[in-house]
Amino acid sequence: MIWLRIDQVADTNEGLFERFIRNYVVEGSQEIGIVASQHIAKKINKLTGLETRETVLGYIQRGGTPTPMDRILATRYDAYATELISKEKYGNMVALQKNKIVEVPLNQVSDKVRTVPENYPLINQARNMGTCLGDKICSKLN
């Protein structure tokens, strides 16, 4: 898990501003919640004096036109959920596992946190591309 250090994000942002890079994105998982995102944006603004806005990218990502595969998957979820209801099998969610729609008891998934290890290949790729993850000052900024 990567722990956000707002001071590191602010220092990175100031470094970008000094290099005349005026637009950059600070993004966070929607799992931290909108209130936390707003708090982080306000702290960065206070530390840097730069206009800072927050948005939840998950909302934007899902805002596009559904693809045919999205529609098929939604139909599969709907049909299976309807089947569970007709059998009075409440307290379950539907999920896609190995291309099969299955039921998963909610008590198996609630109150659990899934983290991405810091050495995960996509994390390393993001860092190599100059993405600042907020845990340290980024030196590879283009």
In the predicted structure, residue 86 carries a pLDDT above the cut 60: yes
pLDDT in tens, 21-59: 555 555 555 555 667 777 877 887 787 777 777 766 555
CB atoms within 10 A of CB 13: 21
Q: Which one has a higher pLDDT value, 107 or 64?
A: 107
Over range 7-22, report the average pLDDT. 60
How far is 52 from 9, CA to CA, in rounded Å? Answer: 12
Phi and psi based region of residue 99 (left: phi greater than 0; alpha: psi -120 to 50; beta: remaining): left
pLDDT in tens, 101-136: 999 999 998 888 878 888 889 888 888 877 777 777
